[in-house]
Amino acid sequence: MSNLIHPLLLCGGSGTRLWPLSRKSYPKQFAQLTGEESLFQASARRMANDAFAAPMIVTGSDFRFIVKEQLAAVGLAPDAIIIEPEGRNTAPAILAGALTLEARDPGALMLVAPSDHVIPDAKQFCDVVAAAIPAALNGQLVTFGIQPDRAETGYGWLELTTALSEQTDALAQQLKAFVEKPDAKTAQTMLEGGKHLWNAGIFLFSTTTMIKAFEAHAPDMLEGVRAAVSDAENDIGFTRLAEKPWAALASDSIDYAVMEKAENLSVMPYSGAWSDLGGWEAVWRETGPDANGVVTSGTATAIECKNTLLRAEDGKQALVGIGLDDIIAVAMPDAVLVAHKDRAQDVKIAVAALKEQNAVQAETLPRDYRPWGWFESLGTGTRFQVKRIVVNPGAALSLQSHKHRAEHWIVVEGTAKVTIDEEVKLVEENQSVYIPLGAVHRMENPKDVPMVLIEVQTGSYLGEDDIIRYEDIYARGQGAKG
Say whether 10 sits in a helix, a strand or coil.
Answer: strand
Taking the C-alpha atoms of residue 295 and residue 276, their distance in angstroms, rounded to an integer, is: 19
pLDDT of the residue at 344: 87
Taking the C-alpha atoms of residue 56 and residue 102, their distance in angstroms, rounded to an integer, is: 13
* pLDDT digit string, tens, across residues 65-91: 899 999 999 999 999 999 999 999 999
pLDDT of the residue at 170: 67
Say whether 197 sits in a helix, a strand or coil.
Answer: strand
Which residues, 6+ apart, have CB-to-CB distance to 358 below 8 Å? none
Q: What is the mean pLDDT of the chain?
A: 93
* pLDDT digit string, tens, across residues 290-323: 999 999 998 999 999 999 999 999 888 999 999 9
From 361, 371, 365, select the one nearest 61 (Cα to Cα). Answer: 371
* pLDDT digit string, tens, across residues 394-445: 999 999 999 999 999 999 999 999 999 999 999 999 999 999 999 999 999 9
Taking the C-alpha atoms of residue 366 and residue 354, their distance in angstroms, rounded to an integer, is: 15
Taking the C-alpha atoms of residue 131 and residue 461, their distance in angstroms, rounded to an integer, is: 59
From 287, 351, 373, 285, select the one nearest 32 (Cα to Cα). Answer: 287
Taking the C-alpha atoms of residue 69 and residue 73, their distance in angstroms, rounded to an integer, is: 6
- Looking at this protein, which amino acid is placed at residue 26? Y
| DSSP code at position 325 | B
- Looking at this protein, which amino acid is placed at residue 423? E
Say whether 412 sits in a helix, a strand or coil.
Answer: strand
pLDDT band, residue 235 (cuts 50/70/90) = confident
481 has a pLDDT exceeding 70: no
Average pLDDT over residues 164-169: 62
DSSP state string for 215-235: HHH-HHHHHHHHHHHHT-EEE
- Orientation angle between helical segments 90-104 and 219-230, nearest 10 degrees: 60
Average pLDDT over residues 213-222: 97
140 has a pLDDT exceeding 60: yes
From 190, 249, 229, select the one nearest 98 (Cα to Cα). Answer: 229
Q: How many CB atoms lie within 10 A of CB 252?
A: 16
pTM: 0.89
Q: How many CB atoms lie within 10 A of CB 149?
A: 11
From 163, 202, 162, 195, select the one nearest 179 (Cα to Cα). Answer: 195
Q: Would strands 300-303 and 319-322 be described as parallel, antiparallel, or unpaired?
A: parallel
pLDDT of the residue at 168: 47
114 has a pLDDT exceeding 70: yes
Taking the C-alpha atoms of residue 311 and residue 319, their distance in angstroms, rounded to an integer, is: 8
The answer to whether 385 touches 377, Cβ cutoff 8 Å, is: yes
Rounded to a whole number, what is the distance in angstroms from the first to the last CA of the chain? 38
Taking the C-alpha atoms of residue 29 and residue 19, their distance in angstroms, rounded to an integer, is: 13
347 has a pLDDT exceeding 90: yes
Q: Looking at 74-168, list the stretches that DSSP marks H as alpha helix, in order from N- to C-terminal side.
A: 90-104, 122-131, 133-137
Instruction: Identify each DSSP E strand in 134-243 by its residue range.
Output: 141-146, 157-160, 173-179, 196-206, 233-235, 238-240
Go through the domains of the chain in sequence order and give each one's CATH number: 5-270 (3.90.550.10), 280-356 (no CATH), 367-471 (2.60.120.10)
DSSP state string for 278-306: -SHHHHHHHH---TTSEEEETTEEEES-B
**Ordered strands of the 373-380 beta sheet:** 367-370, 373-380, 384-391, 451-459, 405-413, 432-435
Average pLDDT over residues 190-211: 94
